[in-house]
Amino acid sequence: MNITEKILARAAGKNIVNPGEIIEVDVDLAMSHDGTSPPTINTFKKISDKVWDPDKIVIICDHTLPPNTIGSAEFHKVTKKFAREQGIKKYFSHGEGICHQVLPEYGLIKPGSVVVGADSHTCTHGAFGAFATGMGATDMAFVFATGKTWFRVPEAYKITVEGKLGEFVTAKDVILNIIGKIGTYGATYKTLEFKGNTIESMDVSGRMTICNMAIESGAKNGIMEPNKATLQYLNDRNVKLFEVVKSDKGYLYEREYNFQVDDMEPQVACPHNVDNVRPISSVEGTTINQAFIGSCTNGRLEDLIQAGEVLEGKRVHEDVRLIIIPASAEIYRKALHNGLIDTFMDSGAIICNPGCGPCLGGHMGVLGSQEVCIATTNRNFLGRMGDPESEVFLANPAVVAASAISGEIKDPRG
């Protein structure tokens, strides 16, 4: 079996599972946020009075924090009341950060576990060797009530990435390139298993970025065998009692893709689909109005450091608003202590509290008609970040920073 099948077999109490098989599994961790908790809670109350295990449920306010409308304020009230009634201690509402960043930071993700979240980018946690996937509020309500859910065992694609990334070429460029080749629907309900020396040598931040965007090809989950950097990350957060699961040698994947990144230039996803990917040389010069560095894809410390390298001693273009949002309070604090926040403010950037921010078009940085944004987020769908007549380009943090200075999409390599 491959890594995903082994994890699902354990969770289903089976010795072996096969692609296409319908199984019921025990969930190790369930998460919802301020946007998905209220509908989850509404359905839950129709089927149960008590959650199956309050210690295995996490609720995080991150999408609109602090609340920016009466409706979002009411959502926060509902989630807080539910958490208190049910004895859910892992309730985060004080700006701790984006759910997909907070879970691993607080040592809640273990290799070999089954993690479900009422958010499509829950697949981020495949970077730690966990089976992690998103689901809707109705399915999550039943998980809250029973601790179980069902899956069809996904077929697996092997994605091998080899080579050394060049200056200002990052994990974001790797996954954009992959999605550009596979297509937005090219891996629907498949497992994307990432391998190769590029993946093996990558830091935890980069590995999270790649698994985060697996869903953008339609995949059920993205997953990697933990490397040394990942195991060190887990050890630093006192994560214990887990088993590292690996795919059997000689496993026959449904499909295999091979990518060579030695000569790859920064990649840009153009409006209005994530698979509309082009090398930066073909889109340089496109005028922008907004630049955004952050989100669960690229709001980590490594991303901010990269942006800082580009912004140091420079000023943001007078026609551009640059918004920078650390993915968590831990990252914000580190950026503050190492001088990054000063660098950002000196450049004319706007720094906001940890959270999702403009990514979903609901909070801080909504686009107006005809405005163009280049962002480190994971989606650029029509109207995703505001007005349906706006446009969003996706790129790595260095590209976004260089573009903010230039006033148009710019290659940071000069």
- pLDDT digit string, tens, across residues 237-272: 999 999 999 999 999 999 999 999 999 999 999 999
| 3 state SS of 168 | coil
Cβ-contact 316, 409 below 8 angstroms: no
Cβ-contact 44, 145 below 8 angstroms: yes
Count Cα atoms within 13 angstroms, Cβ side, for 246. Answer: 7
Nearest-angstrom CA–CA distance, 90 and 383:
33
Question: Rounded to 5 degrees, what angle do the CA atoms 195, 1, 114 make?
Answer: 80
pLDDT attached to residue 300: 97
- Give the right CATH number for 3-155+199-214+225-243 from 1.25.40.850, 3.30.499.10, 1.20.1600.10, 3.20.20.140: 3.30.499.10
Cβ-contact 90, 188 below 8 angstroms: no
In a structure prediction context, what are the per-residue pLDDT tens digits for the chain, which is 414 residues long? 999 999 999 999 999 999 999 999 999 999 999 999 999 999 999 999 999 999 999 999 999 999 999 999 999 999 999 999 999 999 999 999 999 999 999 999 999 999 999 999 999 999 999 999 999 999 999 999 999 999 999 999 999 999 999 999 999 999 999 999 999 999 999 999 999 999 999 999 999 999 999 999 999 999 999 999 999 999 999 999 999 999 999 999 999 999 999 999 999 999 999 999 999 999 999 999 999 999 999 999 999 999 999 999 999 999 999 999 999 999 999 999 999 999 999 999 999 999 999 988 888 899 999 999 999 999 999 999 899 999 999 999 999 999 999 999 999 998
Cβ-contact 33, 127 below 8 angstroms: no
Domain parsing of the chain, residue ranges = 3-155+199-214+225-243, 268-406
pLDDT attached to residue 324: 98
Nearest-angstrom CA–CA distance, 167 and 188:
32
Residues whose CB is less than 8 angstroms from the CB of residue 364 and which lie 6 or more positions away in sequence, other chains included:
68, 323, 325, 352, 357, 358
Cβ-contact 413, 168 below 8 angstroms: yes
For every residue of 273-323, DSSP letters joined together read -TT-EEEGGGTTT-B-SEEEE-HHHH-SHHHHHHHHHHHTT----TT-EEE
Nearest-angstrom CA–CA distance, 1 and 246:
9
CATH 3.40.50.10170 fits 268-406, yes or no: no
Nearest-angstrom CA–CA distance, 318 and 78:
42
Nearest-angstrom CA–CA distance, 132 and 119:
11
For every residue of 357-400, DSSP letters joined together read GGGGTSSSS-B-TT-EEEESSS---TTTTB-TT-EEEE--HHHH
Please name every residue paired with 394 in a beta bridge, in sequence order, or none if there are none: 269, 375
pLDDT attached to residue 180: 97
pLDDT attached to residue 414: 84
Nearest-angstrom CA–CA distance, 300 and 13:
36
As given in the structure block, the two tokens for residue 169 are: 């070429």
Residues whose CB is less than 8 angstroms from the CB of residue 267 and which lie 6 or more positions away in sequence, other chains included:
172, 173, 176, 177, 180, 277, 278, 279, 280, 395, 396
Run of H or E including 56:
none
The answer to whether domain 3-155+199-214+225-243 and domain 268-406 are alike in fold is yes
- Per-residue exposure over 27-47, b if at least 16 CB sit within 10 Å of its own CB, e if not: bbbbbbbbbbbbbbbebbeee
